[in-house]
A and B are shown apart, each in its own frame.
Chain A
Amino acid sequence: MRRQLPGSQKPFRLFRDSERELAHEQARRRLRRPAQLYEDMQVDDKLVSSPDLTGNQSAAPAIDLSDRTRPTNDCCRVNPDDLLEHGVPHESYPDAGFIDNQGKEVSCHEQGGQGEPDWPFGGGEAEASQVAAQSTPDTPSSLIFGELATAYVPWQMFGQTLSLRDALRTGTLFPELVRTVPLYQKPPGT
């Protein structure tokens, strides 16, 4: 299942979709990992959408960290529904807490014995459920909150290569990596 970000715009892509599929396929075969994992990486691609490069694409929706509707339990970053999708039953997953030094499971709420973390900007169950309402099976709430705090650089796929001389002159053999040094306009009068 390919998930979509809410209101997702066409993201900037370094490579064509077919090439990306190939790259993923190749990596998948090598690592012998289930395909599902790479479906998640497709979602990551959207998170690295680049703002307006050509003038006709708009930036991906930003995740607003000051959003008051962030639930108070945002330290539990794994949505159990996501885990079900991966065949992990709820009960086997201990609320993304910690294992303490005695091997006892500690929910992140209990950590330090302080109860609920004191979220300074209000926001409670009602607001959290409002967010939960936005989160359909296609847009897990974890994604709305930017759970995947990981950087992802799109895989490069082997395609055309530049001529030997052009490669040395540009500084890369790969046309898809060629960039232009941004030209800074000097202020008038200088």
Chain B
Amino acid sequence: MWVYQKMLQYPARVRSTNPRLAKAVITQYGGPDGELAASLRYLTQRYTMPIPEAKAALTDIGTEELAHMEIVATLVYNLIRDASIADIKRAGLDGYYADHDKALYFVNAEGVPWVAAYIQSKGDPITDIHENMAAEQKARSTYEYLIQLSDDPDVTDTLRFLWQREIVHFQRFGEILNLLHDYYGRERVFHMKGWDPEKMPPVDR
């Protein structure tokens, strides 16, 4: 089960109302490489992991991503909270406003709602961990683009924190990948239907 801690992981700050920036930042809430996708991806992949290290890392990183989702939500909420209708129109957020007012919803920067097709759960642990390493890099790139777009130094500060976390998570997933390779004994020349590992002498022993 999960419990809630009544605090943010990072003291996220917003300098002033800025719906234009909110429109971009919201992609890390409900976009393809956002925190919701990251969290759900890891939490749903953990069931088919063969080694304890992988189950633990996916659970813990998936949980941390939920905390990041809350940080991004805090940024977006505070960026649009005090925006006037005129501000919202000027920022091009009127379409969003028509559907959601100033409520938080899982969309990308262009307003496309979140879909499960953003993530994958393939059942092959090596494949899944590669997916996660790629996901961390995609999120890192997104944060870099958001930092370029940001004209609020306080928001940039929080985006930088989240950017650094992607690097740490990538390192952990890389180590999990190494452990998986060891677990499989680096025997994976081919994995095919009808392939019987018992009949193949291991490569590295």
Contact = CB atoms under 8 A, between A and B. Distances in A.
Question: Are A and B in contact, CB atoms below 8 Å, in the complex?
Answer: yes
Interface of A: 27, 31, 33-34, 36-37, 40-41, 77-78, 82-83, 86-88, 92-94, 96, 98-101, 103, 150-156, 168-172, 174, 177-179, 181-182, 184
Given A168-B10, A181-B144, A181-B147, A99 B195 contact: yes
B204 A86 contact: yes
Contacts of A169: 161
B111 interface: no
A171 B175 contact: no
A151 B163 contact: no
B189 A77 contact: yes
Interface in B1-55: 10
A155 to B, nearest CB: 6
Given A101-B193, A172-B167, 14 more contacts: A33-B185, A37-B205, A78-B203, A83-B201, A87-B205, A88-B201, A103-B196, A151-B130, A155-B175, A171-B161, A177-B164, A177-B167, A181-B147, A184-B144
A156 B205 contact: no
A77 B188 CA distance: 11
Interface string B175-205: 1011101100110011011111001111111
Nearest to A149: B188
Nearest to A37: B204
B102 interface: no
B195 A171 contact: no
Nearest to B145: A184
Contacts of B177: 151-153
A171 B190 contact: no
17 contacts: A33-B185, A36-B204, A37-B204, A40-B204, A88-B201, A98-B195, A99-B194, A99-B195, A99-B196, A99-B199, A152-B178, A153-B174, A155-B178, A174-B168, A177-B167, A181-B160, A184-B144
A151 B132 CA distance: 13
Nearest to A27: B182
B203 to A, nearest CB: 6
Given A151-B133, A171-B160, A156 B175 contact: yes
Q: Can you list the 10 inter-chain pairs with the closest CB atoms, starting with the nearest?
A: A153-B174, A171-B164, A171-B161, A101-B194, A37-B204, A172-B168, A99-B196, A92-B201, A88-B201, A96-B189
B194 A156 contact: no
